Structure 1
């Protein structure tokens, strides 16, 4: 039997259920009702819930998790369905509603915590949509009014996106998960894998088998990108697990997982580390331990709908487990926003991860609030849409203190770069951080500048820069090609350098400074006048 829990408008009372603690509940629009939810963190580290309401989108500051406060409300078409995702400092909102504000709403979040502003509404390609997913600067919009295909939108201009393609090679697509230019699409009778490496010409890779009674609703990839954990909304199987080690075939590993002792429908699922965080309608918020993907285990639950566990579309609609604080956001259809804390065993709690360009290099910094059995972090950079390890930083084992880490990537040129951390336990278990993006606009180039002063007597300064670490030679020659001096002959890290050339023992004349690194050679003429 469930215990009926009455929660006031903004409860700050802390109540625990199964391994999950309630920090607060905000029910600001009880007569309207709620739908999906997403999260956002501003430049100052403040955390927000982007809460779908049937009449718009509520933006709630949850930095103090026991005291959530709405800071902005974006009106929208009245609809049971609303979906929200974030790119840079913008929120992108779609809905099935067709009244004022229909289509794609774009909201500027850069003014938070003061306010947020609707900056554009676009209905060029669709007037209603069921879901949206954003990855690597592209939005994928599905379940639109002109069919069940997938619109691919380029967000290079975040306020005025452009469409690259409308894909219709699958059945009706209800939801997608996207990584490394690959789409896992929940397409009614099957899950489909689609390559979007060419955003103007997506290609179908593979299709799962159709299972009796299943409706492929949504899903998420495990962090090693091997297993897809799918959800179906009709209580036939609830959760399935598919092995995608071979991208050309879907190997069914777990044919069904359902809530013990309940007939509730599953809705949406998100994976962080070794846990799947699930909005499970009348069973509320549910956590599965998927450290062994072939054998999911119930790890936690907080019931936002204590009336019953029946098969109705009430209770938890969505959840968001990716805030740096570790707090979980849950949206309940009737009772609004829940801020929860999952009390499971998290080996490393990563509270921040940032990338910054300094002096032509990328400086990565991250902070942990606690660590357990932490061997360290592999630093990974995306190269040709795949992540590769470029360094390793040792961890602090087991610690309850705040620990700061850093890593410098010197091997960059101008362009955008994406990084993530692969945390490694001493027992070999791993988990991945979210990606961070940084753009290098003034990377160091291979340059040999004209010496100064010139003419000179008897010394002059020679400045040069090298874009990558490697062997560098800077030598001085007379006009007949004889080497008369060697300033540098060593392995140098990427950077800018200033060297002094002293010609006190040389006669007046023209001299050549030659800088060599790999197959690149630059030279300058210098005039010595005594």
Structure 2
């Protein structure tokens, strides 16, 4: 049964959790200056496995009474890496280029007249940050030029918005951006699109233009008809040829997942929606890099007892018009799951009181946990702990926000790295040079026997950028050219497939 008050239940619960634990957690001391290995399941008192603690910045050393979502940005001009950390009354910026010595640069306050709330989400596009806040009154979309971070001399400072978008957008739960097409999708906003997809063209990054709405009218949603809680929008390059190269949004819509064709912004189409008998709150999800599977979390199933252990749901979306519940993975922990992202063959999960967990999905039929770092080592309330885990920085470091604790900079090691790129093709040797690359790089691939080989370049969202080679190769050494001249700065993945096995290499493009 749909409950109109469900949307507001989670904010109330989390506010209680943050207030209850605030005193206990403010005494947490920073861990900076040197990395700390995970030895015998422990790194500076934090339970762990195959993950190294590079640094910890307590929330007391940043602005705001709490910590919420985290996102990252790589500066293509000077190679710096930044953590962008939401909180109740603004957005913090931390330079994590030297991961063991993070520098708190300052805070972007919420817009004047808006209300503070822990629900703050953000995404980046072409050097700009777009920030929304839920249950925040007349918040709108804050737009901030990230190039400003390069000029900070005496941190911390208070930043000002570069621009402010308020046309039919006030409070919103989240924002998704398809960096390939330059369209943004505001979700969970009760304005013009009734909590569905509010679409904006970012061709002029400081002056977005509204281009369309999608709301399914109540086919999905719990708190309101067609409510979208989160979304990932991509140019689809998966196995369903009927929808090849169309812009498709995969949404977590409280009651269901939904798949929406948004190629025509003036006439978007709901392709399919799907749920499951023990659904409690379809919260968020992310596609595998081949766009074959959608991996999803349900935020309230553990709390409501419909599952005893942390559950991750895997959808087979090979047919976009008919998604199929493929598998439920149950972890050894009982924590509530929150946000997750997929990079290569790994799923990075922020699972509140059990911290960040990493699943290897090389064999999608049998996901395996290969690493974890618990950001709340002691007793904690259900919604405390890891809120977000961002794995897309070129360095390979992972930044994790933890509600009452602060910002962790982590580095997967050992078994995680061994599984990061999936099973290697047998009898192969692969390397790329130069790396980082600004113009042209070369992949050297050596194989002892003939075989059918596909070499493909992906961005970190799983979008196929280029098929470099697809055909049969003799044994021996082969060289492939990677033309990076027209690529945006950032991290890419070169994937080589042969005889059912894959190997991948990270490629960093710099400008």
If the length of structure 1 is used for normalisation, what is the TM-score? Answer: 0.69
- Checking the alignment, whether the CA contact within 8 Å between 1:324 and 1:352 is kept in structure 2 is no
Are 1:14 and 2:45 an aligned pair? no
Count of aligned pairs: 408
1:389 to 450, 464, 467: 467
1:127 to 155, 165, 170: 170
Are 1:281 and 2:281 an aligned pair? no
When Rg is computed on C-alpha atoms for both structures, the one with the higher figure is 1
1:104 to 118, 136, 141: 141
User: 2:375 maps to which residue?
Assistant: 304
- Checking the alignment, whether the CA contact within 8 Å between 2:96 and 2:103 is kept in structure 1 is yes
1:313-334, Cα deviation, whole Å (9 max, x unpaired): 1000001001111000000001
Are 1:33 and 2:66 an aligned pair? yes
CA displacement at 1:424 relative to structure 2: 1.7
CA displacement at 1:263 relative to structure 2: 2.2
- Checking the alignment, whether the CA contact within 8 Å between 2:433 and 2:441 is kept in structure 1 is no
If the length of structure 2 is used for normalisation, what is the TM-score? Answer: 0.71
- Write the mapping of 1:408-427 to structure 2, written as runs, cut at 5 A: 408=483, 421-424=493-496
2:401 to 331, 356, 374: 331
Deviates more, 1:193-202 or 1:154-163: 193-202
- Write the mapping of 1:48-447 to structure 2, written as runs, cut at 5 A: 48-76=82-110, 77-98=115-136, 102-115=139-152, 118-135=161-178, 136=180, 137-146=182-191, 147-169=194-216, 170=220, 171-180=226-235, 181-234=247-300, 235=302, 236-237=306-307, 238-254=311-327, 256-260=328-332, 262-308=333-379, 312-343=382-413, 344=416, 345=418, 346-347=420-421, 363-365=439-441, 378-380=455-457, 389-391=467-469, 407-408=482-483, 421-424=493-496, 428-431=501-504
- In 1, the alpha carbon distance for the partners of 2:66 and 2:257 equals 31
- In 2, the alpha carbon distance for the partners of 1:275 and 1:111 equals 33
- Checking the alignment, whether the CA contact within 8 Å between 1:142 and 1:175 is kept in structure 2 is yes
1:10-50, Cα deviation, whole Å (9 max, x unpaired): 43451422111111011124860010000001122111001
CA displacement at 1:407 relative to structure 2: 2.7
Distance 1:30 1:258, change over 3 A: farther
- In 2, the alpha carbon distance for the partners of 1:292 and 1:301 equals 19
Structure 2 unpaired stretches of 5+: 1-24, 39-47, 153-158, 221-225, 236-246, 422-429, 472-478
Higher strand share: 1
Structure 1 unpaired stretches of 5+: 357-362, 394-403, 439-530
- In 2, the alpha carbon distance for the partners of 1:226 and 1:91 equals 29
CA displacement at 1:78 relative to structure 2: 1.7
CA displacement at 1:213 relative to structure 2: 3.5
1:466-524, Cα deviation, whole Å (9 max, x unpaired): xxxxxxxxxxxxxxxxxxxxxxxxxxxxxxxxxxxxxxxxxxxxxxxxxxxxxxxxxxx
- Checking the alignment, whether the CA contact within 8 Å between 2:197 and 2:213 is kept in structure 1 is yes
- In 2, the alpha carbon distance for the partners of 1:159 and 1:198 equals 23
Greater RCO (Cα-Cα under 8 Å, separation 6 or more): 2
- Checking the alignment, whether the CA contact within 8 Å between 2:393 and 2:491 is kept in structure 1 is no
* RMSD of equivalent CA atoms: 3.9
